[in-house]
């Protein structure tokens, strides 16, 4: 990976946007919290088929959700005002807003109809948004002429395969983060580590706009976590997890570091794999289970781990793998 010498003013710009995002999110949190409580935009717990989940999370019912709007609206506003760039931030901003709106619609259906979008309908909209992003990435930004970077192996040209790769990365990352968002502060902290790592990679590459965009998200995430760590005042909801997951995939692709995304997002990967293994094994054995409950964080809770312990241990794991992924991204040739 080519290392770019950058000026200290780049760090000043990124730090300023991060601080601006943090302060702005903090300032309008009380207003948004009043809206969430006033209109009873609270989490609903399904009553059927999830006995262990109900036992572990019944106390969380009616805690307001849709707190993720704080993150992506703040990020969008700061980016539109101070960091808008066709090459760097149009695509991640487009992804952030559209997937945030899709997630908000799903949250509202969950709240008022007690059932969100059907899986196939949600997947359709996710694929549509990812497809539009893939077209912009491949055609407008010219990634069709570039190769995908493989650490220790250089760049490999994949041509049109960039389009299905883009769609796969966006949809899978979006849903992996959504699956992980189940405990107070868990997804928010892990996303903070991931965006910080990709911000550093972008900065070293000289992609200051993307680095500043990552910093803006980290600032908003820190403000959100102030109210989301245990015991959470409100939850991120699909509007946050889907938006931030999809956008993380876009940032990984724009920095040509998508190969290390499973490393930086290691906890998201194992959380998703736990669900896939559970479903496969139950279908194979007629109902037997590998885990007490899934995703993995619920299994750990069911084993008797207190919620803060589960979150902190997974945060440590996320931080370690973010550092490993960052090292591979910076020093892999």
Whether the pLDDT of residue 3 is over 60: the answer is no
Angle between helices 266-285 and 162-180 in degrees, nearest 10: 80
* Buried residues in 1-10 as b, exposed as e (16+ CB within 10 A): beeeeeeeee
Mean pLDDT to the nearest integer, 261-281? 98
Mean pLDDT to the nearest integer, 40-61? 72
What's the confidence (pLDDT) of residue 8? 85
Q: Nearest CA to 259 among 4, 21, 1? A: 1
What's the confidence (pLDDT) of residue 171? 99
What's the confidence (pLDDT) of residue 54? 72
Whether the pLDDT of residue 49 is over 80: the answer is no
Whether the pLDDT of residue 100 is over 60: the answer is yes
Element (H, E) at 154: strand 154-157
Mean pLDDT to the nearest integer, 13-34? 97
Contact 198, 252 (CB under 8 A): yes
Q: Phi and psi dihedrals of 241, rounded to 5?
A: -65, -40
What's the confidence (pLDDT) of residue 59? 77
- Beta-carbon contacts of 276 under 8 Å, excluding residues fewer than 6 positions away, are none
Q: Nearest CA to 326 among 245, 216, 212, 205? A: 205
* pTM for the full predicted model: 0.96
Whether the pLDDT of residue 52 is over 80: the answer is no
Contact 148, 156 (CB under 8 A): yes
What's the confidence (pLDDT) of residue 299? 96
pLDDT classification of 333: cutoffs 50, 70, 90:
low
What's the confidence (pLDDT) of residue 60? 82
Mean pLDDT to the nearest integer, 33-52? 77
Q: Nearest CA to 174 among 259, 265, 86? A: 265
pLDDT classification of 4: cutoffs 50, 70, 90:
low
Element (H, E) at 147: strand 147-150
Residue written as token pair 């090459």: 87
Whether the pLDDT of residue 265 is over 70: the answer is yes
What's the confidence (pLDDT) of residue 53? 73
Whether the pLDDT of residue 222 is over 70: the answer is yes
Mean pLDDT to the nearest integer, 86-102? 97
What's the confidence (pLDDT) of residue 50? 60
């Amino acid at each position: 990976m080519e290392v770019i010498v950058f000026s200290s003013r780049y760090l000043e710009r990124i730090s300023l946007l991060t601080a601006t995002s943090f302060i702005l999110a903090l300032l309008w949190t009380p207003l948004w919290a009043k809206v969430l409580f006033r209109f009873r935009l609270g989490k609903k717990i399904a009553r059927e088929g999830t006995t262990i989940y109900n036992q572990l999370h019944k106390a969380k019912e009616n805690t307001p959700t849709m707190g993720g709007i704080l993150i992506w609206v703040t990020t969008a506003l700061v980016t539109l005002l101070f960091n808008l760039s066709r090459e760097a931030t149009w695509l991640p901003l487009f992804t952030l807003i559209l997937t945030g709106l899709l997630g908000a619609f799903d949250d509202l259906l969950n709240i008022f109809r007690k059932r969100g979008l059907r899986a196939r309908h949600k997947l359709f909209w996710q694929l549509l948004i990812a497809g539009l992003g893939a077209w912009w990435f491949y055609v407008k930004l010219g990634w069709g002429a570039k190769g995908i970077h493989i650490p220790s192996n250089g760049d490999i040209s994949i041509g049109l395969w960039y389009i299905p790769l883009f769609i796969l990365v966006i949809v899978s990352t979006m849903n992996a983060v959504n699956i992980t968002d189940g405990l107070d502060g868990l997804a928010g902290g892990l996303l903070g580590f991931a965006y910080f790592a990709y911000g550093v990679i972008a900065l070293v590459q000289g992609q200051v706009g993307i680095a500043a965009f990552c910093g803006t998200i980290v600032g908003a995430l820190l403000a959100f976590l102030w109210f989301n760590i245990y015991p959470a005042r409100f939850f991120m909801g699909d509007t946050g997890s889907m938006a931030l997951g999809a956008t993380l995939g876009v940032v990984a692709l724009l920095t040509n570091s998508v190969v290390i995304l499973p490393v930086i997002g290691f906890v998201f990967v194992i959380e998703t794999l736990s669900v896939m293994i559970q479903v496969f094994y139950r279908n194979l054995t007629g109902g037997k289970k590998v885990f007490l409950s899934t995703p993995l964080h619920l299994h750990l809770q069911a084993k008797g781990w207190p919620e803060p312990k589960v979150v902190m241990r997974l945060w440590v794991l996320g931080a370690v793998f973010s550092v490993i992924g960052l090292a591979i991204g910076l020093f892999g040739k």
